[in-house]
Amino acid sequence: MSTPADDGDAGRGSAAPASGGPTTTLAELAGLFARLGVTAFGGPAAHIAMMQDEVVNRRKWMTEARFLDLLGATHLIPGPNSTEMAIHIGFARRRWAGLVVAGLAFIVPAMAITGALAWAYVRFGALPAMDWLLYGVKPVILAVVVQAIWSLAPKAARTPALRVLALVAASLVALGVDELAVLFAAGVVASIATTTGGGGPAPAPCLLVSLAPAAATGALGGVTLPGLFAVFLKIGAVLFGSGYVLLAFLRADFVDRLGWLSEAQLLDAVAVGQITPGPVFTTATFIGYVLAGASGALVATAGIFLPAFVFVALSGPLVPRLRASPRSAAFLDGVNAASLALMAVVTAQLAGAALVDAPTLGLGLVSAVLLVRFRINATWLVLGGAAAGWLMHTLR
């Protein structure tokens, strides 16, 4: 029978979950993250909210506290947060095999969908109209994120000091202060304010930023597969922040410096990343296909996601050690509170784009009630939102 996870089981064998609880098979990991890869719309905050519902609430694979620690760790390293969270969960359940299986299962379905759209784009010179899909799915995704914040808040902001820290962090991010600076500052403040005893190691995950590989950025001139891989490897190794930050990196490299893409092609690529489920970083798949066909799509996808596997492999084993040290544990508490604040800010930003009229407002409210009160699986709600969007589209 499934039991709640015990975070102290990191020393078990490879077949036992590192975070405790019932044994998880590789097939279970692959099935869960493949399903999320084709239903997780809405960006990293929504993806992580769906993972929290599946991993913590439904499967009891880990506790809220353990999930928050892993979430905090993903915010301290470059790369796609939701993909790194999937990789962290895989490592926690089945060590190195789980790390690879969970990450690939989450990435590959989204890559396949994006690749199919890239083929249609190259073949027909335009993107399929999918406004109806986003119209119905966005309100549901908003409700999924709200439910996750509701569930995680008692752990992440369990003391008055952490609640104040979360409010300050949310205010700073809303004012435009760099997200990474806010996370580090929250960790340092919490460490100073809540630790009264001796030492413990300094917050080690922040040192991982300096380990980003100094990848070559590709030679000027025509498109080559090694050059394409190198550019995306560099981006995946140094990029923090949202999809808008990814847009800035892509424009600087592919439009301004290399001249491989036009402004219109870049905007189409980013649009595909927004309208498809799974990691937004599969924008690289689209660009790779447009520039060099199927081989380019594979090379670009491998380049941008490879650093995520490396950084999680380096940081994952450190998280339990950090929690064991009073000073580092306080640092993680501060980062967790700030991470929850970031999710809240993203939710407010999503609301403006998702709740555009009475039907979307009603869909969002109904979804929130079904999630919080009746614990309906978020995947079914996302599919229901897509169906509602299609119905509204056909009735117009």
The pLDDT tens digits for 96-150 are 999 999 999 999 999 999 999 999 888 877 666 666 766 887 788 778 778 778 8
What integer pLDDT is reported at residue 315 of this predicted model? 82
Burial of 132 (0-12, 13-18, 19+ CB in 10 A): middle
Residue 69 Cα distances to 23, 76, 122, 130, angstroms: 21, 11, 42, 36
Whether the CB-CB separation of 21 and 5 falls below 8 Å is answered with: yes
Instruction: Please report which confidence band the pLDDT of residue 203 belongs to, taking 50, 70 and 90 as the band edges.
Output: very low
- Residue 267 pLDDT greater than 80, yes or no: no
Instruction: Please report which confidence band the pLDDT of residue 26 belongs to, taking 50, 70 and 90 as the band edges.
Output: very high
- Residue 196 pLDDT greater than 80, yes or no: no
Which of 26-35, 180-189, 209-218, 229-238 tops mean pLDDT? 26-35
- Residue 341 pLDDT greater than 90, yes or no: no
Q: CA 284 to CA 114: how far, in whole Å? A: 9
- Name the average pLDDT for the chain: 79
Burial of 194 (0-12, 13-18, 19+ CB in 10 A): middle
Pick from 209, 211, 166: nearest CA to 187? 166
Q: Across residues 246-271, what is the average pLDDT?
A: 80
Specify the residue for token string 């796609």.
Answer: 80
Which of 6-10, 73-77, 113-117 shows the lowest mean pLDDT across its residues? 6-10
Region of residue 370 (phi > 0: left; psi between -120 and 50: alpha; otherwise: beta)? alpha
In percent, the amount of the chain with pLDDT more than 70 equals 81
- Residue 218 pLDDT greater than 50, yes or no: no
Q: Using alpha carbons only, how large is the chain's radius of gyration in Å?
A: 21
What integer pLDDT is reported at residue 217 of this predicted model? 40
| Tokens describing residue 185 | 């500052």
* Polymer length in residues for the chain: 396
What integer pLDDT is reported at residue 291 of this predicted model? 94
- Residue 213 pLDDT greater than 50, yes or no: no
Residue bearing the bigger pLDDT, 332 or 236: 236
Q: Is the pTM of this model over 0.95?
A: no
In percent, the amount of the chain with pLDDT more than 90 equals 24
What integer pLDDT is reported at residue 79 of this predicted model? 81
Whether the CB-CB separation of 86 and 31 falls below 8 Å is answered with: no
Residue 150 Cα distances to 59, 64, 131, 341, angstroms: 18, 12, 29, 12
